[in-house]
Structure 1
């Protein structure tokens, strides 16, 4: 037997956690039904001063499913959800599943071009979005898509506090030609949703991960994938209905979808939503709601440490803090522990692994690589085997660097309507992650590089090609190459190198503003450097690596 069959990491669990999980539910709807039956009057969602019980969430999502059916929606169709961290996101997602549909999560920072790509690729027939996003972005895109029903809603619903830091200035908007979600739910409250039996291998979510070329790819996260990793979060961390989950990661992101929404639906632990992240308000909320679990990018925890109301007592209720999506400097872990008294546990996964594939075992501290100073991303979670392979595809021994190849119940079956990309990334059902790292002799894994040119800006993934394509839309730009450069706060940030057309001139700030108008906030370049010529190979290919170095 080889090192990966023997799973040396199974000896690392300080509390003797089992090595396997039995998947307890066929689908996410059955999973939630069990939690409702256990405590129907317990809080399912807390949103500022608003409260939605498990029973109410069940009724509201039933009403949403019935409302979808009334529009002619049928099982297998897609519902795109384009919203911030608001209760309606959860209602729509759960209601979509009850109607037999597939929920498509859309980043609320996406602009017209990005939204159109996702709506077109998924073939979504329904769009659920915030009123402001409909007015400012979606309404101009929809005529070029298959969307036939639009449901709009407001972030002001389900609360009365109207926190000025995040909700200040927001007003209700009349969106002609759309269905108001609150009216829809009131009309169908008490109506039985369609009779649908979801199977474990039915697709629950389409979560989009951009490719280096062509349109974005929709990872097909099945109900089996979602249930398994909801249980992984629960059992790896040791959570139950007595916990309180802070919804600090964006709900459209795989961390928010699994580590917030699915985990709450499984355990019955209330999910605390704050519309969007604000450091001071987050600290106040952790204190007031007695939050016990938080998972987010490392930039979140850096921001909390630097908030003016950073106070150890305010975060005293936290028992588990997890971070992933971007490298975590060991110095930041130490600083956070000094400020708040809590250790940040590393967790690692991808959209295609439905969130975690690795994690730091409960009660353990992640080791630091003595050579690179990198913090270990942990060990493989339940029933998961991760191989490190060389360029020839053969397994490498501990200590040698190669690509991580992952297999387990959380790995997606493929990409939506993209058989060639599926065959390339998931041959034989194993995910070739594109991430490069190694395993030490004790089974701890470390990431040391990325195989691809992907930029990781504070946990958000940015592909250089997409930024370059926008830069090329500017009539003064001749050539553009985009790379990731070190950034103290975000880990990496986006930098563009540009050469100009003869006789043309443009200032770097103008190009930054040009991209900012056309891209999500985390994608546009923060730095632009104009050069006479950009380095290329003899065949004319731009040398990003040389620019990065």
Structure 2
């Protein structure tokens, strides 16, 4: 038996935290139905000045499901959701499940090429989208040959707002496209009976969630009803959140973190879900002051933006007693700065789209250690019923050595949608290959050093971008940094750094190269530095190194 099979992390679980999860519901839809039965008049969604109760949310999603079924939507069909953090997202998600179908998530930030790919790949029969996005992009996409969508519903982010917030909606108007069905009108006119809901099996696909996986090629993870139910309850039981405590949706709902760590968590907690359309630090701060949420999970970039908002201090976020940080690495020095400026400790959470969000979390009451050699902050301990092994060439490495993390557990997806080759490569009999490189210390804490695809090979020496980035961010003028490989006639590869500076400071490229040279081995320090205004990131805050490699 290897050290990983003995699961040393269990000894680090705080007293009272169960070692395994007894799942209450086989699907998120069942958790939602239980919330409706228990407290139909209680708040389910708070969106600016509007509140939707559990019964109203039930009614609205019934309307969508009834329409879909009436138009031939069959079990297993896909409803594409192209929305921001709006009530319409939750209504559409539930409507798809009540109709026996699958919710296919599409980023509302997608351009025409990306939307064309998503529609061709998912082959949805119905689509629910923002009205402005439909008019500006989606209508043209659906006019192309081979389109499978025959039902289009649109919603305005202004729906339910007594007075639209000018910081997000200055000059915006509700479009109400005439060639689509308006969600608000559909719900208002609905007075029929919902379709007979056949409870889905836990192993049936509930959501198609886009992921770059380990290869960077577009693909969708098939998340099942059971995997989503497991991890929604994992968030609840691991954190110790109490029923009814409001949940703030900071991460995008079209990403697995926002889906599971906000929407589905609210279902199992029977808690109000606080939505703000999209992230704007001032808007989010006002929502926290108004609705007093107890929990949120967000990328580090969101916390940095909140800390940088003028006049913000610990009192503004006092209700947020649990703050999780995931989606991108959390440097220790940044974590310390945010804690000092906003109060409250950031608990790391780690997982993939393919794992329905968390596989590792830092338990409440504990602080993540910093690895003494790599300087990386731990991503936490494996959560309930989750096994993790660190492998090199397919074999477990000794404790403290670096390799690829392989994860198994009930939250892991069965594979990728219509991608048998990629499924066979990533989802093996031994577990899911994460593509992340890291290690486990003797106490069972895990550390993610980098992506395996980001490794730089300089004359046979391994260079992990994170290590170079960490040195750069310790320079007083550097706000953030990203390191990628460049071709080198002598070494094969060398490092190139992109650096964004702190406001009001200055540093030259030569100065930063020399700063690193004094602190790093000769094969590690960057041969080139480019100062940029900001680093490219995804909507969830992940650094897009691929965009930098192409520059």
Deviations 1:71-125 (A, max 9, x none): 1111110011001110000000011101111001111110111111111111111
2:211 equivalent among 209, 226, 234: 209
Q: Is the 8 A contact 1:329 1:375 kept in 2?
A: yes
Deviations 1:487-529 (A, max 9, x none): 569xxxxxxxxxxxxxxxxxxxxxx9xxx9xx98989999999
Partner of 1:178: 180
CA RMSD of aligned residues (A): 2.8
Q: Is the 8 A contact 1:12 1:361 kept in 2?
A: no
Partner of 1:324: 326
Greater alpha carbon shift after TM alignment, 359-368 vs 205-214: 205-214
User: In structure 1, what is the Cα distance between the partners aligned to 2:543 and 2:96?
Assistant: 33
Task: Give 3-state SS (helix, strand or coil) of 2:202's partner.
Answer: coil
C-alpha displacement of 1:356: 0.2
Deviations 1:14-38 (A, max 9, x none): 3331110012212221111111222
TM-score for both structures, normalised by structure 1: 0.83
Partner of 1:286: 288
CA pair 213-65 structure 1, distance change in 2 beyond 3 A: same
Aligned residues: 483
CA pair 164-305 structure 1, distance change in 2 beyond 3 A: same
User: In structure 2, what is the Cα distance between the partners aligned to 1:382 and 1:59?
Assistant: 34
C-alpha displacement of 1:159: 2.0
User: In structure 2, what is the Cα distance between the partners aligned to 1:40 and 1:20?
Assistant: 31
C-alpha displacement of 1:242: 2.7
Q: Is the 8 A contact 2:81 2:89 kept in 1?
A: yes
Does 1:452 pair with 2:448? no
User: In structure 1, what is the Cα distance between the partners aligned to 2:412 and 2:403?
Assistant: 20
CA pair 38-349 structure 1, distance change in 2 beyond 3 A: same
C-alpha displacement of 1:170: 1.0
CA pair 9-161 structure 1, distance change in 2 beyond 3 A: same
Q: Is the 8 A contact 2:405 2:437 kept in 1?
A: yes
User: In structure 2, what is the Cα distance between the partners aligned to 1:164 and 1:245?
Assistant: 24
User: In structure 2, what is the Cα distance between the partners aligned to 1:66 and 1:186?
Assistant: 13
User: In structure 2, what is the Cα distance between the partners aligned to 1:115 and 1:315?
Assistant: 37
CA pair 170-484 structure 1, distance change in 2 beyond 3 A: farther
Q: Is the 8 A contact 2:252 2:540 kept in 1?
A: no
* 1:149-160 matches, cutoff 5 A: 149-160=151-162
* 1:449-488 matches, cutoff 5 A: 449-453=450-454, 485=498, 487=500
Partner of 1:29: 29
CA pair 528-373 structure 1, distance change in 2 beyond 3 A: closer
CA pair 320-108 structure 1, distance change in 2 beyond 3 A: same
C-alpha displacement of 1:439: 0.2
C-alpha displacement of 1:188: 2.5
Partner of 1:428: 429
Q: Is the 8 A contact 1:321 1:344 kept in 2?
A: yes
Greater alpha carbon shift after TM alignment, 166-175 vs 189-198: 189-198
User: In structure 2, what is the Cα distance between the partners aligned to 1:308 and 1:154?
Assistant: 30
C-alpha displacement of 1:367: 0.1
Partner of 1:269: 271
Deviations 1:385-419 (A, max 9, x none): 0000002x011121010000000000000011111
* 1:496-515 matches, cutoff 5 A: none
User: In structure 2, what is the Cα distance between the partners aligned to 1:244 and 1:102?
Assistant: 27
Partner of 1:162: 164
CA pair 73-53 structure 1, distance change in 2 beyond 3 A: same
* 1:73-152 matches, cutoff 5 A: 73-144=73-144, 145-152=147-154
C-alpha displacement of 1:292: 0.7
Partner of 2:489: none
Task: Give 3-state SS (helix, strand or coil) of 1:152's partner.
Answer: strand
In structure 1, runs of 5+ residues without a counterpart are 465-481, 490-511, 530-543
C-alpha displacement of 1:484: 8.0
Partner of 2:244: 242
Partner of 1:470: none
C-alpha displacement of 1:149: 1.2
Partner of 2:13: 13
Does 1:41 pair with 2:11? no
Does 1:371 pair with 2:378? no
Greater alpha carbon shift after TM alignment, 289-298 vs 136-145: 136-145
Partner of 1:467: none
User: In structure 1, what is the Cα distance between the partners aligned to 2:181 and 2:496?
Assistant: 42
Q: Is the 8 A contact 1:283 1:309 kept in 2?
A: no
Greater alpha carbon shift after TM alignment, 43-52 vs 23-32: 23-32
User: In structure 2, what is the Cα distance between the partners aligned to 1:523 and 1:151?
Assistant: 30
Partner of 1:58: 58
Partner of 1:416: 417
C-alpha displacement of 1:271: 0.5
Does 1:296 pair with 2:298? yes
CA pair 299-2 structure 1, distance change in 2 beyond 3 A: same
Partner of 2:515: none
Partner of 1:67: 67
Partner of 1:394: 395
User: In structure 2, what is the Cα distance between the partners aligned to 1:389 and 1:525?
Assistant: 25
User: In structure 2, what is the Cα distance between the partners aligned to 1:307 and 1:29?
Assistant: 38
User: In structure 2, what is the Cα distance between the partners aligned to 1:242 and 1:429?
Assistant: 39
User: In structure 2, what is the Cα distance between the partners aligned to 1:527 and 1:365?
Assistant: 32
User: In structure 2, what is the Cα distance between the partners aligned to 1:80 and 1:319?
Assistant: 35
User: In structure 2, what is the Cα distance between the partners aligned to 1:224 and 1:231?
Assistant: 11
CA pair 424-21 structure 1, distance change in 2 beyond 3 A: same
C-alpha displacement of 1:176: 2.8
Deviations 1:433-461 (A, max 9, x none): 1100000000000011211249999xxxx
In structure 2, runs of 5+ residues without a counterpart are 456-464, 470-481, 485-494, 503-532
Q: Is the 8 A contact 1:78 1:102 kept in 2?
A: yes
